[in-house]
Amino acid sequence: MASPPILSLALPSNTGRVLSIQSHTVQGYVGNKSAVFPLQLLGYDVDPINSVQFSNHTGYPTFKGQVLNGQQLLDLIEGLEANNLLYYTHLLTGYIGSVSFLKSVLEVVDKLRSINPNLTYVCDPVMGDEGKLYVPEDLVSVYREKVVPVASMLTPNQFEAELLTKLRIGSETDGRKACKILHAAGPSKVVITSINIDGNLLLIGSHQKDKEQAPEQFKIVLPRIPAYFTGTGDLMTALLLGWSNKYPDNLDKAAELAVSSLQALLQRTLNAYTSAGFDSKSSSLEIRLIQSQDDIRQPKLTFKAHKYS
């Protein structure tokens, strides 16, 4: 008589279980390579789905690899569901390169929420930066009309917030207004991760705890570091997920911790490249993620949020 099959079971996670759908590089830290390890350090179980697998990030002269299509994503979800492995507390998404894949992600959101109605969806709507789109233009309307309404937290940069709200952000007041427009569309938490106002760099955060009340809003002044880093947006969104789940009613506190971690890591990266004799302005720098794990796990609170009245 054959032995019955041994069924494995994913134990419930009292810290949180995150499904992270992002890009993957063999070398370097962008996408899932930049997000998974920090979340694990903060105590989360993280299951990555790699939307692409490339040899390195696309800023290098060449790259090779494979791209996952929307049906392949749904196949993976179907496999998890068939084994009762599809319970997640959080969904995290970053760079998505095609409308078809983004629409499959929306199906994943519906599926996960059918299993856990309290799923938190943290979306980094990666579309471009500094006035330049680096995804097909038709993704913008899908994000605006379909994704924003189902997101719990949104972490755009200034350019992405402008695309989503159709509002030109030229002042702190504009930044705060953009957050309110996004709240009205869906997410209760919005963090515009970098805004350039008159040469000053700011983060503006906004938490609408009740649809009938005005959101609580704050800013954090960011230093300008004379270098370009890759993977920082992916890392920042992961840190915001991690800390905002630990401080669900204090988005300003979560942002302080996330910014403090990130800035310590960037300074360590810059110091390492400078010590090795590299010109930090001549190329993009790969972040020193592993070397900065103490800054991620126990950040020194060096950046403070200033609440708007």
Mind telling me the catalytic residues? 234
What does the alpha-carbon distance between residue 134 and residue 132 come to, in Å, rounded to a whole number? 6
| Residue whose C-alpha is closest to residue 151's, from 121, 185, 192, 124 | 121
